[in-house]
Structure 1
Amino acid sequence: MTTVSITQAFADKAAQAPDRVSITCGEQSVTRAELESRTNRLARAYAGLGVSQGRYVTVALPNSVEFFEAVVAIWKLGATPQPVSYRLPDRERQAIVELADAALVVGVASQAHPTRTTVPQNFEPDPTLSDAPLPDVISPAWKAPTSGGSTGRPKLIVASDPGTVNVGAPGMGQQVDGVVCIPGPLYHNAPFSFASSALFHGNHLVLLPQFDAEATLVAVEKHSADWILLVPTMMSRISRLADDVKNRYDLSSLVAIWHMAAPCPPWLKEEWCNWLGGQRIMELYAGTEAQAVTIIRGDEWLAHRGSVGRCVGGEMKVLDSDTYEELPPGTVGEIFMRSGRGATYKYLGAEARISPDGWESLGDLGKIDEEGYVYLTDRRGDMILSGGANIYPAEVEAALSEHPDVVSSAVIGL
């Protein structure tokens, strides 16, 4: 297997097929050659503003071609992109920017961060800057997304993997030179990671400016997407489209339909398996930290309803949250993980929850059966105690979601 820098991966793909479309978002598209040229010039502009190898750059842009032009330019300088929601209030973004000690904040007005270097949305570099290839440098960490899910407060999760690409090995069922559709927001880890992987391996990346149920089906048909990433809320909204709308679009190009990031109600999962075929429906469970991963295919899920699959990377076990004793198969407790290959991340702004024997928890509760299938119940901090019984909000929310008039729900203990 050949490993190259992210910079080299983009240059190679541009040389192989310069006129092939690289990114589409709404009505805007950019070819591989255009992306290569524009990001070389943009990288030089960022370098002039203080971005260098090993520094973090906060990216606060909506889904767009511009988003990935900024990110690719950051990679080309050996820096680390640190995506955040473009909707964040200035005060919340400032806390993240300070945590990262960002060399540059992309997508905001200068007054938002008066002590930091910023460039606004729609920033255009000086056209006299060269668009020739840059020196080949590698970032020590290829991404640093934010999360508050497992600690309750914002933190950076800095990847341990450097800015390199294993050529020809995209993983997760993505093709080389295929078509990948990402309708979710790129400031979340999964959309960012899988969209990035798609680009590294020459896929045409199809983004939606913002999620819309029917627009997602339109994009799949129009561009013959073979791979798509969804979350259960998106699946539910697509599912609730009228049958004549859902059946209007040809989705036969899809080879893999992935969902993750939240529990999927069993009724919804079964409906999608029946609609598009269980062999195409794939579910992944992991944290941004990536210590361990489970995967389950839809037809396998039908035989193990409610499971998120078995470990395909790393290890998981269920412990008592208080004593850290390992619990027997089928007993609900706190899920702990380890990678078996060293550190997969580091936190900035938080400390990991670690058992005495070195396993880590993301705060999820669940059980593992005798065959190794993992079943999630809820988040440790969300569980409700009532009359001595454990109540899991996720289970109540799943039941509520079965009603056709319920779009979404949240169950909170008082």
Structure 2
Amino acid sequence: MAVVLSDAAQTKPNDIAIRDSSRSLNWRELNSTINRLVNNLKPRDLGSNRRIAVYAENSVETALAHMGALHAGLSSVPVNFHLNAEEAAYILNDSGTRLLFTGPENLARAVDAVAQLPNPIPIVVWRVDGVLPAGVESLEALLASSSDAEPADDVPPRPNMLYTSGTTGFPKGVDLPPTMFAGGKNIAEHVAVLGANRFAALGVHLVVGPMYHTGPLSGVRILATGTPVVILEKFDPERTLAAIQESKAASSVMVPTHFKRMLDLPADVREKYDVSSMKMLSHTGAKCPVDVKKRMIEWFGPVFVDAYGATEVGTVCSITSEDWLTHPGSV
């Protein structure tokens, strides 16, 4: 795919690129998979917006769907996997989505949601055995029937469309703002700009939050730079500490609630795990209580970056641990 992935496939083919609790892909496999997905997606009639949606819990495949869209020059819409069929259908229709990716946990709701659309759209699902409902195709079969030839990186990149909570009863769709979108005339330039991301050079990135949120979804863009990514299906305080130790995770994006739940673990549990690999832990979503932040800095060290922003505008400002310690409570 993009030169970064194809280079990684050549220089470190057997190193793990991405994994969750039940599946992993090395760089050679990831490059081949993304090539196949892009070669399948690019010729499809996806409308003028060139938009797909991902309605799925955290998994390797969730990241693949978003990453395939990125490299195919498509706009992907992360749909909250807690939404019911009617709520999901609203987002699919409002966004102009023309293809839906979903996981096994959400397949029934995805089928119901698509049935409510004025014009039904195809669904792609993964890790489901047996006969699939009408209009649903298997990701595994899709990949097996697609070419893994390196596609051209000549299409312009498109931003994700993200949905806010809305103020009139319905979510509002907004394109990933310029402050968060790397831009570039084509995918090759886009990925090159992504390489300047401060997370990219640190090492393994750990995703702990749901990937329908901007912060956790950034793991896809980090993966595109050739940085390995580990995905937790859902946040668990001890499992997170174990994942940091096992993968030697160097970066992550969390929220203050995650910090509080880790701090609430018994001291002997917290002390079992080595978190010294962590070099940058960005947190957002809410203001972090002063006592929680101080205790986290004492535990992990001054590796925290507090980011303040919103879906519509991206990150507005941020503060490092060092600056925060001189002005506790700052955002």
TM over 0.5: yes
Write the deviation string for residues 341-369 of structure 1: whole angstroms up to 9, x where unpaired.
xxxxxxxxxxxxxxxxxxxxxxxxxxxxx
Change in CA separation of 1:60 and 1:291 when aligned onto 2, cut-off 3 Å: closer
Superposed, which structure 2 residues align to 1:69-80 within 5 Å? 69-80=64-75
SS in 1 for 2:121: coil
For residues 31 and 140 of structure 1, what CA distance do their matches in structure 2 show?
25
Match of 2:20 in 1: 25
Match of 2:39 in 1: 44
Match of 2:171 in 1: 154
Q: How many residues align?
A: 300
Match of 1:299 in 2: 322
Query: What is the deviation of 1:264?
Result: 0.9
Change in CA separation of 1:249 and 1:184 when aligned onto 2, cut-off 3 Å: same
Match of 1:273 in 2: 297
Relative to total residues, which structure has the larger strand share, 1 or 2? 1
SS in 1 for 2:191: strand
Match of 1:336 in 2: none
Query: What is the deviation of 1:48?
Result: 6.1
For residues 6 and 312 of structure 2, what CA distance do their matches in structure 1 show?
29
Is 1:190 the counterpart of 2:215? The answer is yes
For residues 149 and 190 of structure 1, what CA distance do their matches in structure 2 show?
19
Match 1:125 to one of 115, 120, 141: 141
AA aligned to 2:217 is F
Change in CA separation of 1:302 and 1:152 when aligned onto 2, cut-off 3 Å: farther
Query: What is the deviation of 1:305?
Result: 1.7
Query: What is the deviation of 1:52?
Result: 7.0
Match of 1:7 in 2: 2
For residues 154 and 94 of structure 2, what CA distance do their matches in structure 1 show?
24
Query: What is the deviation of 1:168?
Result: 7.6
Q: Contact 1:255–1:280 (CA<8 Å) still a contact in 2?
A: yes
Match 2:191 to one of 165, 168, 171: 165
Q: Percent identity between the aligned chains?
A: 30
For residues 167 and 158 of structure 1, what CA distance do their matches in structure 2 show?
18
Match of 1:228 in 2: 252
Match of 1:317 in 2: none
Q: Contact 1:42–1:125 (CA<8 Å) still a contact in 2?
A: no
Greater RCO, 1 or 2 (C-alpha within 8 Å, sep 6+): 2
TM-score (norm 1): 0.67
Match 2:161 to one of 128, 140, 144: 144
For residues 283 and 69 of structure 1, what CA distance do their matches in structure 2 show?
28
AA aligned to 2:124 is V
Write the deviation string for residues 62-85 of structure 1: whole angstroms up to 9, x where unpaired.
111111111222223211111112
For residues 227 and 298 of structure 2, what CA distance do their matches in structure 1 show?
28
Match of 1:180 in 2: 205
Q: Contact 2:9–2:27 (CA<8 Å) still a contact in 1?
A: yes
Is 1:134 the counterpart of 2:159? The answer is no
Query: What is the deviation of 1:16?
Result: 3.1
AA aligned to 1:303 is T
Query: What is the deviation of 1:12?
Result: 3.3
Match 1:204 to one of 228, 242, 248: 228
Is 1:112 the counterpart of 2:135? The answer is no
Backbone CA RMSD of aligned residues: 2.3
Match of 1:378 in 2: none
Q: Contact 1:177–1:202 (CA<8 Å) still a contact in 2?
A: no
Is 1:216 the counterpart of 2:217? The answer is no
Structure 1: gaps of 5 or more residues: 1-5, 309-414
Structure 2: gaps of 5 or more residues: 128-137
Query: 71-80 vs 83-92, which deviates more?
Result: 71-80
TM-score (norm 2): 0.83
Query: 43-52 vs 210-219, which deviates more?
Result: 43-52
Change in CA separation of 1:223 and 1:87 when aligned onto 2, cut-off 3 Å: same
Query: What is the deviation of 1:17?
Result: 2.0
Change in CA separation of 1:128 and 1:153 when aligned onto 2, cut-off 3 Å: closer
Query: What is the deviation of 1:13?
Result: 2.9
